[in-house]
Amino acid sequence: MITLTIDHRIFAAAILSDGGDFISRAECPAPAGGYRDWLVAICDLVAGLDGALPHMSVAVAVPAIISGDRTEIMPLGNLAGADLRRDLQSALSREVFLTGFGEALTAFHAAIGKTEGPLVTLWIGSSCHGGLAANGSIVTGAHGAAVNWAHLQLPAPVPHELDGRPCWCGRNGCVETFLSTYGLEDDYERVTGDRLTAAQIAAATSSNDIVAESVIQVFEDRLGRATAMIISLIDPATIILGGDTPMPERMCERVPRKWPGYVQVDRSNTRLAWCDAGHGALLRGAASLASARRGG
């Protein structure tokens, strides 16, 4: 099967064997143009994969909620309002299956089978997304939106967090405006006037950059509050972070220390872990879901 991820800054594609191993893999930067340019780039990326056969369908993971065949709550302006599945099927001349980032990440970890009890996965990148599995099965919810908490308001805000942080969705103060790479970069720029990437900010903490250390600590506290809300509602055994979470090992160590202040009963049995597979997890998870929808 061919599998593909479409993100703000990068497109990734691969061919997977029936056992889930990568046969070939490629990626390219998201083009600067409009919707048609994105479709052309995707077609070129898929065409360049070694081993692509005419009968292969395409599993596509996108940063959106998928309800039926529709993409909803889509942060990618070039794709908003488009009938993406129809257009990709036409452009690629292949059957296309769509899934959201949160669901794909959850499918990847549910397939690994290393967790017991409810599993929540959180993809944090240019946007953020969630997914849920219980008893080894993906839980999408009535509208395909289970655990997509990105456009709820940040829990337990402190006064300056109420000043207003506009979100692309039209609301103010969404979790995504704080817990995303853009949110972290915005925090650093507000204080220093300089724009660094999230990775550069994380690296700067080891060079005694006081502002970088401060914004990382604030990010930890916000992630603690946001995950505590999930814990209070779902009581998962495991929460897995994926994507471009800054300093993930540190987050997994420090964020659980925040939970006692925001949950009503002891939740120390919940484990916070890091997925280091990057977009590879989304590629595999999307393929797994598409294969299940095809009936194997």
Q: Cβ neighbours of residue 55 under 8 Å, at least 6 residues apart? A: none
Give the per-residue pLDDT at 294. Answer: 77
**What pLDDT is attached to residue 91?**
94
**So what's the pLDDT on residue 130?**
94
119-166 residue pLDDT tens: 999 999 999 999 999 988 899 888 888 898 999 999 998 988 877 789
CA 232 to chain CA centroid, nearest Å = 21
Helix (H, G, I), strand (E, B) or coil at 110: helix
Confidence of residue 77 (pLDDT cuts 50, 70, 90): confident
| DSSP H helices in 31-150 | 35-47, 84-92, 101-112
What the block records as the tokens of 234 is: 């779902």
Note the pTM of the prediction, 2 decimals.
0.92
Is-contact 291 1, C-beta < 8 A? yes
The CA dihedral of 201, 207, 213, 216, to the nearest 10 degrees, is 40
d(CA 91, CA 88): 5
| Residue 258 half-sphere exposure toward CB, CA atoms < 13 A | 23
Domains and their CATH numbers in the chain: 2-100 (3.30.420.40), 104-274 (3.30.420.40)
Burial grade of 16 (CB within 10 A; 0-12, 13-18, 19 or more) = buried
pLDDT category of residue 295 using cuts at 50, 70 and 90: low
Closest CA to 49 of 28, 63, 32: 28
**Residue 51 pLDDT exceeds 90:** no
Under the banding of pLDDT at 50, 70 and 90, the label for residue 240 is very high
pLDDT value at 254 more than 60 = yes
pLDDT in tens, 171-210: 999 999 999 999 999 999 999 999 999 999 999 998 989 9
Which among 288, 285, 289, 185 is positioned nearest to 242, based on CA atoms? 285
Which class for 80: exposed (0-12), middle (13-18), buried (19 or more C-beta within 10 A)? middle
Q: Three-class SS of residue 41?
A: helix
Phi/psi of residue 261, each to 5°?
-80, -10
Q: What is the arithmetic mean of pLDDT over 219-238?
A: 94
pLDDT of 114 reads: 61
pLDDT band of residue 88 (cuts 50, 70, 90) is very high
Task: Give the DSSP letter of residue 174.
Answer: B
- Mean pLDDT of the residues in the chain: 91
Task: Look at residue 160 in the predicted model and tell me its pLDDT.
Answer: 85
Beta strands in 7-72 (DSSP E): 10-16, 22-29, 58-62, 65-67, 70-72
Helix axes 84-92, 35-47, angle to 10 degrees: 50
Q: What is the mean pLDDT of residues 12-20?
A: 91
Helix (H, G, I), strand (E, B) or coil at 93: coil
Q: Is 170 left (phi over 0), alpha (psi -120 to 50) or beta?
A: left
Residue with tokens 């990734």: 12
With 80 as the cut, is the pLDDT of residue 67 above it?
A: no
What is the DSSP-derived secondary structure letter of residue 288?
H
pLDDT at 142: 86
